[in-house]
Structure 1
Amino acid sequence: MQAVSTPVPTTPNRLTLWANLISVYILWGSTYMFIHFMTERMPPLYMISARYLIAGTLLYVYARMTGTPRPSLVDWKSLAVIGVLLLTVANGCLSVGIQYIPSSMAALLGGLMPVFLLSLNWISFAHKRPSNLALAGLAIGLIGIYLLVKPDRLTSTSGLDAKLIGFGLVAVGNFSWAIGTLLTPRLTLPSGTISSGIQMIIGGLVLLPISLALEPVTLLSIFDAPLKAIGSMIYLVIFGSIVGFSSYSWLARNATPQLLSTYAFVNPVVAMLLGTTFAGEVFSSQSFLGAAIALVGVVLITLGRK
């Protein structure tokens, strides 16, 4: 969600285009599992805050050392809005939601982002009626969501409560991410690495006091984190934030929206494969059916936006 207000007029190199696209496909698909590993024994908001403060600082310092000019006050204000929506709210809700539902299920819900984008853009932003194909995808996607949320026959009451909390948090995060996405081209934003870095710094700075107020942590709790949590955070800093987020930023400026939006139905597949293989996550047949129907809806929405 790092699109800038002025698109690049030249046609991007196809190799660069697909390298960035594959980066977003694979790396962002893997972040759900590593967020789960990072927060298994550490408070989620604290670890997400540390992740973004580290990654954002590295990106900002690199950008300034390579000659990127210092952003204006207007740029900072715009970046603060997007950083809070995308990172503080959206990824903060995601990191807490993964404490209640499997990471691959959270990825499936994240894959429904086009449903939120289509609805918000129709109702509030562009006020433009979607195509019939996109509307059909919206209806199918909502059916898939229902099957994902609907409890299985053998689900206990406590399990249902946890599932609904997790789904609710991820849905709020998706809503915030969609708003940030639709606001991005309407704001004045600097391009490139420094934009991503500032958004991460602001997102992390806003999350940190929230974590200190709500979670049993101090500023130095990072030294008590187990090795698995630290290793997962390092992976997320390098591959999730610096490489993956920067690839998405480049694509948002150079790729068509239809091509870019395909990440929404590739990430969940990657996350599900990793979650079931390495995290021992188990899905019911109903969840698989809901996921498949939801992804069909996402594909139709994407095709309908052409």
Structure 2
Amino acid sequence: MNTVYVKKVQSPRLTLWLALGSVYTLWGSTYLFIHFMTEKMPPLYMASLRLSTAGLLLFLYARITGTPVPAPKQWISAGIIGVLLLTIANGCMSLALQYIPSSIAALLAALVPLFIILLNWVSFGHIRPTNLSLAGLVLGLMGVSLLVQPTGMGVSPTNTLWLGVGLIMIANVSWAVGTLLSSRLTLPPQLISSAIQMLVGGLVLLLISLLTENVNLTSIGHAPVEAIGSLVYLIIFGSIIGFSSFAWLARNASPQLVSTYAYINPVVAMLLGWAFAGETLTSASILAALVILSGVVLITLGRK
């Protein structure tokens, strides 16, 4: 445990904040683009194309620039992380966006820090969070609860809404486990590790899509222009840049700090959903966003 801690302290500060900024902003926009990508196309199929294409491009780049082929043990470890973070978590999120607005989905995803901090406390690291981090977590969750209220988002509970909620809860648990395992498994160098995670996660998701959705390998030819444009955006910015940044953070930053992205993303998603998808933005939601940002500050100041 001491070795991991020293590595995190010595991580370049500029790289750390660039990676955080990338995850904060780019991933906040992915909810809206996943909605556009899957509005008229099967969600698991489109998600699998996004991940496998991004993984293939990143893998080829890593090999061209001299990254060696990983050992079998490293392939297996990266593949496990890919299934947890991408097949299960990203797949469930893509399905959930068929039932709930992108802003609500992002807000529910903000519960990820709860699972990360608690699992790291009781199981993975047995590290109790600082009181300041716990206070920030509570404050952030209070902001999320304000946003989920009908007065905050203008959405009333329905059967489909709760189905979306259930899918995102599954995604949250899987994402938390994958995040905590990332610093504990024997993974290859960062670039090719991200590539393998996306490749494996995307290919497993493609197999599930072919078995459960009315698609084949050439169905992308029937996708509307909006879906294709969103797919390209998600491949470049959501997967290659955004996911690579997150994968680096998962191995080099504290779980409390990594988890703060889940508080920023809902604010970005809320604003984009209001601007481009006609989703409701109220004074209550703005107040909740300020509460969430306050929670981020406390978690950041209280990280170990």
TM-score interval, normalised by the smaller of the two chains: 0.7 to 0.9
Unaligned residue ranges in structure 1 (runs of 5+): none
Give the TM-score of the pair, scaled to structure 2: 0.86
Corresponding residue for 1:22?
21
Task: Give the 3-state SS of the residue equivalent to 2:158 in structure 1.
Answer: helix
Corresponding residue for 1:263?
261
- Say yes or no: does 1:12 pair with 2:12: yes
| Contact 2:263–2:292 (CA under 8 A) maintained in structure 1 | no
AA matched with 1:112: L
The 1:274–1:231 alpha-carbon spacing in structure 2 relative to 1, beyond 3 Å, is: same
Number of equivalenced pairs: 301
| Contact 1:152–1:286 (CA under 8 A) maintained in structure 2 | yes
Moved more, 135-144 or 62-71: 135-144
Corresponding residue for 2:47?
48
CA distance in 1, matches of 2:286, 2:168: 18
| Contact 2:107–2:144 (CA under 8 A) maintained in structure 1 | no
Corresponding residue for 1:33?
32
State, as a whole percentage, how many aligned pairs show the same letter: 61
Corresponding residue for 2:225?
227
CA displacement, residues 115-143 of structure 1 (integer Å, 9 cap, x when unaligned): 11111112222233333333344444555
Corresponding residue for 1:94?
93
| Contact 1:52–1:201 (CA under 8 A) maintained in structure 2 | yes
Task: Give, in angstroms, the shift of residue 160 of structure 1.
Answer: 1.7
Task: Give, in angstroms, the shift of residue 109 of structure 1.
Answer: 2.0
| Contact 2:117–2:129 (CA under 8 A) maintained in structure 1 | yes
Task: Give, in angstroms, the shift of residue 246 of structure 1.
Answer: 2.0
| Contact 2:24–2:264 (CA under 8 A) maintained in structure 1 | yes
CA displacement, residues 252-300 of structure 1 (integer Å, 9 cap, x when unaligned): 4555655544423222222111111011111566666666555555554
Q: 1:201 aligns with which of 196, 199, 202?
A: 199
Q: 1:245 aligns with which of 219, 239, 243?
A: 243
CA RMSD, 1 decimal: 3.0
CA displacement, residues 19-43 of structure 1 (integer Å, 9 cap, x when unaligned): 4333222211111111011000001
CA distance in 1, matches of 2:161, 2:285: 12
Corresponding residue for 2:209?
211
| Contact 2:254–2:303 (CA under 8 A) maintained in structure 1 | no
AA matched with 1:12: P
Corresponding residue for 1:79?
78
What pairs with 1:161-180 in structure 2 (closer than 5 Å)?
Answer: 161-180=159-178
CA distance in 2, matches of 1:60, 1:299: 36
Task: Give, in angstroms, the shift of residue 222 of structure 1.
Answer: 0.8
Unaligned residue ranges in structure 2 (runs of 5+): none
The 1:47–1:172 alpha-carbon spacing in structure 2 relative to 1, beyond 3 Å, is: same
Task: Give the 3-state SS of the residue equivalent to 1:277 in structure 2.
Answer: helix
CA distance in 2, matches of 1:23, 1:136: 25
| Contact 2:264–2:293 (CA under 8 A) maintained in structure 1 | no
Task: Give the 3-state SS of the residue equivalent to 1:86 in structure 2.
Answer: helix
Task: Give, in angstroms, the shift of residue 244 of structure 1.
Answer: 1.6
CA distance in 2, matches of 1:251, 1:80: 18
| Contact 2:41–2:223 (CA under 8 A) maintained in structure 1 | yes
The 1:270–1:220 alpha-carbon spacing in structure 2 relative to 1, beyond 3 Å, is: same
The 1:283–1:101 alpha-carbon spacing in structure 2 relative to 1, beyond 3 Å, is: farther
AA matched with 1:241: S
Task: Give, in angstroms, the shift of residue 176 of structure 1.
Answer: 0.6
- Say yes or no: does 1:61 pair with 2:60: yes
CA distance in 2, matches of 1:19, 1:124: 30
Give the TM-score of the pair, scaled to structure 1: 0.86
Task: Give the 3-state SS of the residue equivalent to 2:187 in structure 1.
Answer: coil
CA displacement, residues 203-248 of structure 1 (integer Å, 9 cap, x when unaligned): 0111112112222212211111111101100110011111222233
Corresponding residue for 2:106?
107
Task: Give, in angstroms, the shift of residue 305 of structure 1.
Answer: 3.2
CA distance in 2, matches of 1:290, 1:115: 18
CA distance in 1, matches of 2:158, 2:283: 17
AA matched with 1:245: F
